[in-house]
Amino acid sequence: MVWNVKSSLEQYEKLLEDAGFKIESADVVPCPLIQKSDEEIESWICGNFPRYFENLDDNLKNDILQKTVAAIREIRKDDGQFSADYVKVRIKAEKDAA
């Protein structure tokens, strides 16, 4: 299944509504992260996707990271910096005190 921001937002809203919350607002907020070096990209990958590296030996992990960083460098370079497209889901909801 492909992750989709719109369907994910709707899923979060439904979970809250099913739990008795009234949604006041729900937004997807773009938060581009600027990475200035290969090390920053690698750190971002490891920090956000650690479970994918848990059972890999260090050589394989490093090979995957090097190839991933190289691919990102090729497609996301902007003025010598690299941007990672990142979004936050921001929901304001209230639940009646019953």
Tell me: the pLDDT tens digits for 57-93? 999 999 999 999 888 877 766 666 777 777 888 999 9
Residue 4 pLDDT > 60: no
pLDDT confidence of 49, banded at 50, 70, 90? confident
3-class SS shares of the chain: helix, strand, coil, % to 5:
50, 30, 25
Q: Which of these, 84, 74, 73, lies nearest to 34 by C-alpha position?
A: 84
Report whether 43 contacts 49 (CB < 8 A). no
Query: What is residue 1's predicted lDDT score, i.e. its pLDDT?
Result: 33
Q: Is 12 exposed, middle or buried (0-12, 13-18, 19+ CB in 10 A)?
A: middle
Look at strands 81-84 and 87-95 and give their pairing.
Answer: unpaired
